[in-house]
Amino acid sequence: MIDSSKNEYLGELRARVVPQGPFNVTPLFVEKAKGAVVYDVEGRELIDFSGGIGVMNVGHCHPKVVAAIKDQAEKYTHTCFHVVMYEPYVKLAEKLCALTPGSFPKMAMFANSGAEAVENAVKIARYYTKRPAVIAFENAFHGRTLLAMSLTSKVMPYKLGFGPFAPEVYRMPYAYCYRCPFNLKYPDCDVTCADYLKEFFGSHVPAESTAALIVEPVAGEGGFITPPPEYFSKLINICHDNGIVFVADEIQTGMGRTGKMFAMEHWGVEPDLVTVAKSLAAGMPLSSVVGKKEMMDAPHVGGLGGTYGGNPVCCQAALAVLEVFEEENLLQRAEVLGKKLRERFDALQQQFEIIGDVRGKGPMLAMELVKDRETKKPAADEAKALVKFCYEKGLILLSCGNFSNVIRTLMPLVITDEQLERGLAIMEDGLSVISK
């Protein structure tokens, strides 16, 4: 029997025993989820355009992933890789080394969360270069641990009140063409924002002190900001001319999110180190740093690791995810999905003045809402109202951006055309309502 007050009851319990810090996009509690659909505890069906924040690219409860988890859980769930090693860890490392961009020899290590992968990438780059500084970007999000939070650029809610921050973090403007920090226009700008790195060495931090530059191919939490084609090759060349490790944070963009397995492939760039998490293991906590063998192998024995890193159940889930990608041609599906979404979003932009910009790569697509297309004043309240309208009508949708005015899509790539249409129809209704 369905209890029609169960969300409310659990919500009250949550408010009583869980602090407000861990935020909630919706007031709903889940009962079960399948593919691109989430069912709440009151039996409501919701189309999921969030995928648990970009984690469920292969879909909720994919049978192959569920079977892999069950099977592994019956054999052993933990020995700690540092105590008794196991095959799923090394098999997955082998696969990721083959899948990440770059034909050079690679190695991979595992941790639990995206933030932890970022922390490890910085440790590796520092050890390898023997330099302290890290360059990050405006609009960046790299996680919530001390160093990852220090690399993150959005103050509210991520940083306010949580200082002091980790030292030796320096911040460059990002290639935010819609609101160009240099007040220029692509392509006439000649991608000045990338060349600015050379000046940055004079004004902020010397190249000789810089271990790594860490950058998201598409700024995820920052608003799906998508740099122009020349951007990353310029950046990586400047890094390499100066002995700086180029780290691509592919935690949100990776695992097929943009229509390629890793988003840097769109820019034809081969990062020195890549951080991977989120959709890697379809909801099981697993992250990885993959990259150049000589860098990965630099830290001494015992310098990297953790009790749970590369848990065998998580690694088996990830191996199953990779099989699903192959068997179901998910990259091809992602490309088709991306085209469909782009067409619809472009049409919606024609229809609704509030949509100032449509951007992204493949099905990692977003619309930036503005009160006025001339002034580009961010429409954050309207974005919030749209998210609320949508979950009340049966669509889970997420906002992002430093002004919280960007609506983004992170739906499972296995979403059916019918589910996609249903979700988009709700979005369109919501845009009509908030545009009034």
Q: How far apart are the first and last CA of the chain?
A: 39
Closer to ligand PLP by Cβ: residue 47 or 263: 263
Q: Does 310 bind ligand PLP (CB under 6 A)?
A: no
- Report the C-alpha gap between 358 and 204 in whole angstroms: 33
Q: Which of 399, 389, 345, 352 lies closest to 371, judged by CA?
A: 352
Q: Does 366 bind ligand PLP (CB under 6 A)?
A: no
Q: Does 115 bind ligand PLP (CB under 6 A)?
A: yes
Rounded to a whole number of angstroms, the minimum distance from the CB of residue 132 to ligand PLP is 21
Could you tell me the CA-to-CA distances from 135 to 175, 267, 313 in Å, in that order?
A: 15, 20, 35
Q: Which of 308, 306, 262 lies closest to 285, judged by CA?
A: 308
Which residue's Cβ lies closest to ligand PLP? Answer: 114
Closer to ligand PLP by Cβ: residue 107 or 251: 251
Burial class of 87 by CB neighbour count within 10 A (0 to 12, 13 to 18, 19+):
exposed
Q: Does 141 bind ligand PLP (CB under 6 A)?
A: yes
Integer Rg of the chain from CA: 21
Q: Does 283 bind ligand PLP (CB under 6 A)?
A: no
417-435 vs 380-393: helix axis angle to the nearest 10?
130
Q: What angle do CA 231, 237, 242 make, to 5 degrees?
A: 130
Span from 112-120, 179-187, 340-348, 422-430 in contact with ligand PLP (CB under 6 A): 112-120
Q: Does 349 bind ligand PLP (CB under 6 A)?
A: no
Span from 138-146, 236-244, 301-309, 339-347 in contact with ligand PLP (CB under 6 A): 138-146
- Report the C-alpha gap between 134 and 211 in whole angstroms: 6
Residues numbered 241-260 forming contacts with ligand PLP, rule: CB under 6 A: 249, 251-252
Q: Does 137 bind ligand PLP (CB under 6 A)?
A: no
Q: Does 57 bind ligand PLP (CB under 6 A)?
A: no
Binding residue (CB under 6 A) for ligand PLP from 113, 120, 153, 258: 113
Residues in the site for ligand PLP, rule: CB under 6 A? 53, 113-115, 118, 141-143, 216, 220-221, 249, 251-252, 277
